[in-house]
Structure 1
Amino acid sequence: MPVKTLPVKRRAVRRAPARADRPFKGIALILLSTVFLGTSDITAKFLSTSLPSIEIAWIRFLVFALIMVPAMVPGTPIYALRSTRPGFQLLRGAALLGSSLFFITGLRYLPIAEASATGFVSPLFVTALSIIFLSEKVGIRRWLATAVGLFGVLVILRPGTGAFHAAAFFPIVSAFCWATTLIMTRMMSGREHATTTMIYSSIAGVAILTAMVPFVWVTPSLNAILLGLLIGVASTAGQWIVVLAFRYADASVLAPFSYTQLLWVSILGFLIFGEVPDLWTVVGAAFIVGSGLYTAHRERVRRSQLLTAAGESSPNA
């Protein structure tokens, strides 16, 4: 008697949307994202005068997690909780939390333009970490660009002078955590859906901060709660718009336009806090931005060379 086989029901796997080469749309989205992210940073600085950094970050990640809840419910069209590497996703979420928490802490003591400019040193850390974790080869020109960016940080911080503030290390550590987040994202590239990554980031952030926040809790006013909600919505929207932007253009194309966030936070910092970036901050920021732009250029050249080499080695070439 022949064995009757039952049909196997395959699980639907959410795949990332196909890339579309529409750089102008990607640039428009990245510019829009800086408005949301800049608004989140400004609001966090305003709120840091009345609430501890841990509590501000907790509200931010709580709102983030609540926004992601629909994608955590099995059976829904946008369900994306299933992951092939949940532990690695949670570790990435912890790195993202570190970036947010250290930056908010720095905002409490530093002018926002200075903190933001220093925070943009993350591409330099990405260059160094990519050698260790991605086995990438970094040429002398990219190392020189990294050195220029580090010089820009020193110009802003001016260690050894009366202008130096120990809190300046917070945005640097934040930038390192963000670079770690980017490296881990690259390591999972093509294996996990962007929504899945965002879900686990929100879960990791809420879980860790919920354990920490009772030790620093300050009962927020209604106004503080509303501002906290604004931070959570603005930062989540900004990050999601960034994800959308990368569907239409390469990182090397979009990176230069992300620096417009410095312009937004400088304008808002002046209008809300009366902060005017000093000459050293402007000069240092110019070095950091120049370094980042050149690094993005070299990344575009390297990608073009790799694609050319792949085309030449193809049997159909």
Structure 2
Amino acid sequence: MTGQNTRLGIVLMVATTFVFAVQDGISRHLAAEYNVLMVVMIRYWFFAAFVVALGLRATGGLRAAAATKQPGWQILRGLLLAAEICVMVTGFIFLGLVESHAVFTSYPLIIAALSGPLLGERVGWRRWVAIGIGFVGVVIILSPGSGVFSPLALIPLASSVLFALYGLLTRYVAQQDSAATSFFWTGVAGSVAMTCVGIWFWEPMAAPDWGWMATLCVTGALGHYLLIKCYEVAEASAVQPFAYLQLVFGAFIGIGVFGEVLRTNVLIGAVLVVAAGVFTLLRARSIAR
């Protein structure tokens, strides 16, 4: 039952973040060799097959999984997530895993900032202060005053905005639809959208890279499965702070595998962003209680 085993939930969240970090590393490798849209499209084909398989096993089958009174919002969610993945993988190519993840970790702060005007949720002054500190961290990471700022640094920030909008829409549709229904529409809508776009950029893939592509698809499905199980056994507010470990795992992969460098401003900015994000999560949890 939900909320009954926080320790197991934390273990599952840590495992989830590790799997997603590995997935990001593979995405960085493949996107450097092949078109991003094609890579994401193939990944979505497997994702769609995964959610359909889950729907077939669930009570009521696919009809129940797809049942929604708000298909427009569900489709928009799927499109936002697909666009976010494409933008983020593009960021991996130009900026690497370390800096892309450092900026992307600002998405909970964006969700908190937008939850008031878009969802009517109350955000107190403490969380506004934390949000402000977090965005100071983002500015430090982007280092616009250092003379080496590049517009490419805005790519992961755009990705975090898209993911924040996706997260807010997920909250909104959850008022009427189950998590299983939202998950189904995320995979199917994203797969259809990416096929319509990505099929035009198909290119031959070397045999070894098909192995990496298969691993990418499996890690994607495994990560989502672990995340589902995590939320089944523990409250989201209790385990969500541990999602920031994806930044740590991503940094290890970026530095150890791709030879990236952890710059001082990125480290300082990331610490501010993560600290502010954890505070907003814990504050929201406290208020909810």
In structure 2, the residue matched to 1:89 is 74
Deviates more, 1:122-131 or 1:76-85: 76-85
CA deviation vs aligned residue, 1:109-139 (integer Å, no higher than 9, x gap) = 1121110111011011101221122201111
Does residue 1:288 correspond to 2:247, yes or no?
no
CA deviation vs aligned residue, 1:184-228 (integer Å, no higher than 9, x gap) = 111122532322222211111111111212443322222222222
Deviates more, 1:258-267 or 1:64-73: 64-73
Task: Determine if contact 2:98/2:247 at 8 Å carries over to the other structure.
Answer: yes
Quote the Cα distance in structure 1 between the aligned partners of 2:58 and 2:253: 43
Counterpart pick for 1:174 among 156, 159, 177:
159
Quote the Cα distance in structure 1 between the aligned partners of 2:208 and 2:241: 36
Measured on the aligned residues, the alpha-carbon RMSD in Å equals 1.9
Change (3 A) 1:161 1:269: same
- AA in 2 matched with 1:52: N
Does residue 1:53 correspond to 2:17, yes or no?
no
- AA in 2 matched with 1:181: Y
Change (3 A) 1:73 1:256: closer
CA deviation vs aligned residue, 1:45-89 (integer Å, no higher than 9, x gap) = 111211111111111111101222324559976532222322221
Query: Matched residue of 1:163: which SS?
Result: coil
Mapping of 1:173-212 within 5 angstroms? 173-189=158-174, 191-212=176-197
In structure 2, the residue matched to 1:156 is 141
Task: Determine if contact 2:80/2:166 at 8 Å carries over to the other structure.
Answer: yes
Does residue 1:238 correspond to 2:212, yes or no?
no
Question: How high is the TM-score relative to the length of structure 1?
Answer: 0.85
Deviates more, 1:125-134 or 1:25-34: 125-134
Quote the Cα distance in structure 2 between the aligned partners of 1:270 and 1:75: 41
- 5+ long unaligned stretches in structure 1: 1-17, 305-317
Greater helix share, structure number: 2
In structure 1, the residue matched to 2:4 is 21
Counterpart pick for 2:201 among 216, 226, 240:
216
- 5+ long unaligned stretches in structure 2: none
Quote the Cα distance in structure 1 between the aligned partners of 2:261 and 2:58: 52
Change (3 A) 1:296 1:268: same
Does residue 1:62 correspond to 2:45, yes or no?
yes
Answer with 1 or 2: which has the greater Rg. Answer: 1
Query: Matched residue of 2:2: which SS?
Result: coil
Quote the Cα distance in structure 1 between the aligned partners of 2:258 and 2:57: 45
Deviates more, 1:31-40 or 1:238-247: 238-247
Task: Determine if contact 1:194/1:243 at 8 Å carries over to the other structure.
Answer: no
Quote the Cα distance in structure 2 between the aligned partners of 1:288 and 1:74: 40
Quote the Cα distance in structure 2 between the aligned partners of 1:125 and 1:20: 26
Structure 1 residue 94: deviation in Å? 0.9
Quote the Cα distance in structure 2 between the aligned partners of 1:240 and 1:71: 10
- AA in 1 matched with 2:133: V
Structure 1 residue 19: deviation in Å? 2.3
In structure 2, the residue matched to 1:3 is none
Quote the Cα distance in structure 1 between the aligned partners of 2:220 and 2:273: 23
Task: Determine if contact 2:116/2:123 at 8 Å carries over to the other structure.
Answer: yes
Task: Determine if contact 1:270/1:276 at 8 Å carries over to the other structure.
Answer: yes
Task: Determine if contact 2:2/2:235 at 8 Å carries over to the other structure.
Answer: no
Query: Matched residue of 1:275: which SS?
Result: coil
Task: Determine if contact 2:3/2:235 at 8 Å carries over to the other structure.
Answer: no
- AA in 1 matched with 2:266: T
Quote the Cα distance in structure 2 between the aligned partners of 1:217 and 1:127: 39
Work out which structure has the larger RCO, using CA pairs closer than 8 Å and 6 or more positions apart in sequence: 2
Structure 1 residue 280: deviation in Å? 1.1
In structure 2, the residue matched to 1:8 is none
